[in-house]
Every structure is written in C-alpha cells, then in structure tokens.
C-alpha cells in the first residue's frame, strides 16, 4: 500500500491507505476518530458487537508509525466513543500500545465524544491540545472550521467522510475518503467500528478515495 504524496498550499503531505496522513517536514502522523472502545460500549448496553476492533485499529496505527518513522502522533478528536468505552481490555490494549511506542509524542485534540470522558488514566502519555492549535503552517481541530489566522490549512475529522460511487443506473457504494474543501482537509475515520457519511463535494473541492489499498483522486465533473 504505497502512500500518495500531495502538495496542498505548498505543504507536502502523504496520504496513507490505512486512513492516516503523514507530514514529513514535522515527522508527524495525523489520524481522526478512532472511537476506541465503541464495541465495549455497545456490549455494555446489551447490543452484540464484534470484539477486537480497538486492537485492529491500534495495529493499523502502529504499522503507519513504523512505515513513516513518525516521531509524533496527533489524533484529531473522538479518541473514545463514550464513558463506558474505557473498559479493562481497552485500557490493557492502550497500555500495550504506549509500552511499545515509548519514544512517541502523542497529542489529542478533544472531540465531541471525548467530552463525556471525565479523566484519562494519568500514566498515559497524552498531551491535550486546544482546537485551533497551530503546528507550523497547519492548524488542527476536531470539528471543521476555517483555518486559524497564521495557518494555511486546517486538518480535522468528525465527519467520517466517504465518497458515494454511482453508475448510470444505481448507487454502487461508498468509499472512505480525504476531503479538501475551503482550505479544510477532513480525514477519514480510522476506527474499525465506525460508520461513514457520504459527502457532496463542490467543483472546487478535491477528494481522494481509499480503494483496494490505493489512494485515488476523484475528479469532479463539470457542472
């Protein structure tokens, strides 16, 4: 799964098919919407849910960190799904992740789901960043918003964007995507147990879908 290098606002970024975005200049990997423990929350409510989703998501993140040699990981919100998501097995999985990546700097922009979490385990090496924090020429948030003054591009999540494929006669399905609109780059949700929301790109937007381990840009038709 080869990354796709794209120049946006003069910034070189690499789109990864495992739903991450790497910024080589800052050795930083960005991801969005892990929703760790969503399956645990469903099970606590008596709803059948697959096991191992958090472990699978963490494995994907570890693979990207190793592939890119990133020294920093920035999560653009919704680390957890709900207060009941931090079950014992979820804590153990994250303990193991941090034990493996001892040199990694981990930063989190709080998302709307994270606001339900009163406190994270104190031994987790997580730096909390405010929405609108600027890293170099890039500002970050969970919710889409205009880039902060002093930055050229905003990275965000929340939407879980997907591009709907259609034929002459029918809808074929949806593919997760990266969506650039009005200097906002929305990342796909990386969590294995998350849904997607079909977007409606404008002619001026750019959209890259993830298909069969490849990143493919979708050109918008002329109006």
In angstroms, the CA 8 to CA 148 distance is 16
Q: Which two tokens stand for residue 188?
A: 């796909």
The radius of gyration computed from the CA coordinates of the chain, to the nearest angstrom, equals 17
β strands within the chain, DSSP E: 4-8, 11-16, 20-23, 28-31, 72-75, 105-109, 126-129, 133-135, 138-140, 153-156, 161-166, 171-181, 184-186, 197-198, 206-211, 214-218
CATH match of 4-218 with 1.10.10: no
Its pTM stands at 0.91
141-184 per-position pLDDT tens digit:
999 999 999 999 999 999 999 999 876 655 568 999 999 999 99
In angstroms, the CA 222 to CA 202 distance is 10
Q: Would you kindly state where each structural domain of the chain is located, as residue ranges?
A: 4-218
CB 131 within 8 A of CB 141: yes
108-147 per-position pLDDT tens digit:
999 988 887 878 899 999 999 999 999 999 999 999 999 9
Statement: residue 48 has pLDDT above 50: no
């Amino acid at each position: 799964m080869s990354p796709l290098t794209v120049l946006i606002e003069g910034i070189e970024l690499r789109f990864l098919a495992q739903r991450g975005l790497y910024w080589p200049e800052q050795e930083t990997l960005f991801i969005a919407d892990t929703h760790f423990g969503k399956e645990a929350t469903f099970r606590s409510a008596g709803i059948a849910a697959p096991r191992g989703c958090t472990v699978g998501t963490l494995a994907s993140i570890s693979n990207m960190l190793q592939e890119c040699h990133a020294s920093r990981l920035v999560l653009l919100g919704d680390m957890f799904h709900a207060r009941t998501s931090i079950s014992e097995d979820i804590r153990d999985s994250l303990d193991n992740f941090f034990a493996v990546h001892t040199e990694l700097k981990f930063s989190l922009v709080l998302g709307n789901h994270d606001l339900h979490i009163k406190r994270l385990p104190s031994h987790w090496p997580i730096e909390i960043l405010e929405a609108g924090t600027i890293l170099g020429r890039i500002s970050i948030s969970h919710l889409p918003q205009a880039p902060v003054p002093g930055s050229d591009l905003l990275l965000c999540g929340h939407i879980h964007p997907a591009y709907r494929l259609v034929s002459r006669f029918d809808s074929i399905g949806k593919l997760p995507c990266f969506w650039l609109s009005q200097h906002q780059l929305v990342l796909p949700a990386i969590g294995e147990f998350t849904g997607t929301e079909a977007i409606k790109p404008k002619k001026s937007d750019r959209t890259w879908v993830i298909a069969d381990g490849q990143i493919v840009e979708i050109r918008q038709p002329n109006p």
